[in-house]
Amino acid sequence: MGSNSSTAASTEVSTIVKHWREHPPSSYSLKIHNFSELEKSTALSDHKYQSRLFTYGGYNWRLIIYPKGNGEDNVRGFISMYVEIDSKSLMLFTSPTEIFAELRFFVYNKKENKYFTIQNVGVKPFSELKTRWGLQQVLPCDTFNNPDNGYIFEGGQCEFGVDVIVAPSLTNWEVLSFTKKYFDPKFSWTIKDFSELKEDVQKSNSFPMGGKEWVLALYPKGALEAHGKWLSIFLCLADSDKPEADEKIFVQARLGVLNPLGSYHFEYPLETWYTEQSPGWGWAQFLPLAELPKVYLDKEDALKVEIEFKVVSETKYSFTEADPLEKDWVQLTPEN
């Protein structure tokens, strides 16, 4: 059961695991040559022994031993062991900060020539409000102090230790959030002298939406198998904003051709993901070319195309070590 430096006992549910290990502790070892003298000296002060600071996992720590139990947590008759993070380590970061670590405590047994290992399973959050975690009941004092059991040997020698396994900072993550509708979700494009166009493809000026730059690509005579029969229209990401490897951008919109009165006469819904392999989506067979002069071209031979966006996802991500304050976001922006 964990405890902090206050007098209040922790109420956290414990899952204690005990086993034997030949390998010594990897973070810190504390060897004592006369344990009975340690008991006497700590009884005259604060009933605990604090090790020197040691560095592990990028932070400074102390190992704390209560030879007769941690009276602050109303424990008597047991060896109590704790690890405390140096508060100066926490001051290196912007508050509030939590450092997560898994703790394994060790007591050497000369008879077994192994280390009795005990831990409260799970990572512990170290912070300015809780700088210390540990175990109140590592071993009964009667068991520990009996030389026949092997923990005390060669005239009062003993050894304690700890492994502090610091959990690395989270650097691989994505966040998906929704914002309010766009201030101006529409983009309109007028193609003049439509019947006289000679180029295979016409491209609009680039326009921003959802943190990306887009262009409309229109094929006046049709694209691919639709050539000569259909009007083809595609929504494409601008060259400057092509998706990176493994990046996906979702778009929900409606793309239409307006009649000369300025209202939608024909439209298609667009709902798809843009990727590095597919930076443009649309329709090769959008409208029959034969229908354009009858219904869609105005008196000046102009065609008006309009797209209205409902949702665009902004995909930003972090898969490398970064400053914890510099977070990227995955944002999906809908219009209500």
Class of domain 16-166: mainly beta
Domain residue spans of the chain: 16-166, 176-334
Paired tokens of 126: 């170290």
**pTM for the complete prediction?**
0.60
Range with lowest mean pLDDT among 142-156, 195-209, 237-251: 237-251
First to last CA, the chain: 50
What's the longest Cα–Cα distance across the chain?
A: 109
CATH architecture of 176-334: Sandwich (2.60)
Instruction: Tell me: pLDDT of 178 over 70.
Output: no
Q: Measure the CA–CA gap between 275 and 125, rounded to whole angstroms.
A: 39
CB count, 10 Å around CB of 11?
Answer: 7
- Which residues are bridge partners to 327 per DSSP? none
Instruction: Tell me: pLDDT of 111 over 80.
Output: yes
pLDDT digits (tens, 9 = 90+) for 21-59: 999 999 999 999 999 999 999 999 899 999 999 999 889
For CA atoms 33, 37, 42, 48, give the dihedral sign: positive
Q: Same CATH fold, 176-334 and 16-166?
A: yes
Res. 177 pLDDT band, cuts 50 70 90: low
Paired tokens of 220: 């006046």
The residue ranking higher by pLDDT, 2 or 206, is 206
Paired tokens of 5: 């430096």
Share of the chain above pLDDT 70, in %: 86
**Residues whose CB is less than 8 angstroms from the CB of residue 164 and which lie 6 or more positions away in sequence, other chains included:** 27, 28, 56, 57, 61, 83, 101, 102, 103
- Which residues are bridge partners to 251 per DSSP? 272, 312
Exposed/middle/buried for residue 44 (C-beta within 10 Å: 0-12, 13-18, 19+): exposed
